[in-house]
Structure 1
Amino acid sequence: MKTFDRITRDPAMLGGQPTVRGMRLTVRRVVEAVALYPNRDDLFAEYPELEPEDVRQALEFAAQNLDDRVIALELA
């Protein structure tokens, strides 16, 4: 299994959710922010504490922790 040196968990902070470098910024929020700010310049302007490697590891961590189940979607 891959080691994520920027993803941390502290049971005393945010209910033990995975965060970035011990900040009060969850992996989930980083993934949401990537979707909200597809332009990385805008993303880093909104979250100046983030570094490109933080984003990369957050996305990879989230991807590795998803189930491989099929979710049926309605046709448009």
Structure 2
Amino acid sequence: MMFDRITFDPKIMGGRACIRGMRIPVSVIVGQIAHGATVEEIFADYPDLEAEDIRQALEYAAWLTQEEVFTA
């Protein structure tokens, strides 16, 4: 999986996953959606975002949760 819009820079937001080097963490976008924000509301809050940014933020969050659970 390639995330060309998700960036990590220790000088921006402490190296957290952000959108295209901006000070917009992936966690903020995913959190807003989880709390019921619409894409239009997110665009109003962050006018520099593009639809592909939001899609990749969600894909990245989904990718992070692909874990294997082993039970004894």
1:27-66 correspondence runs (5 A): 27-66=26-65
Q: Percent identity?
A: 46
The match for 2:17 is 18
Number of residue pairs aligned between Structure 1 and Structure 2: 69
TM-score by length of 2: 0.80
| Distance (Å, rounded) in 1 between the aligned partners of 2:41 and 2:49 | 12
Higher Cα radius of gyration: 1
TM-score by length of 1: 0.77
| Distance (Å, rounded) in 2 between the aligned partners of 1:65 and 1:20 | 16
Query: How far apart are residue 25 of structure 1 and its match?
Result: 0.6
State whether structure 2 residue 7 is matched by structure 1 residue 8: yes
Structure 1 stretches of 4+ moved >6 Å: none
Distance 1:18 1:51, change over 3 A: same
Query: For structure 2, which runs of at least 5 residues remain unmatched after alignment?
Result: none
Superposed CA RMSD in Å reads: 1.7
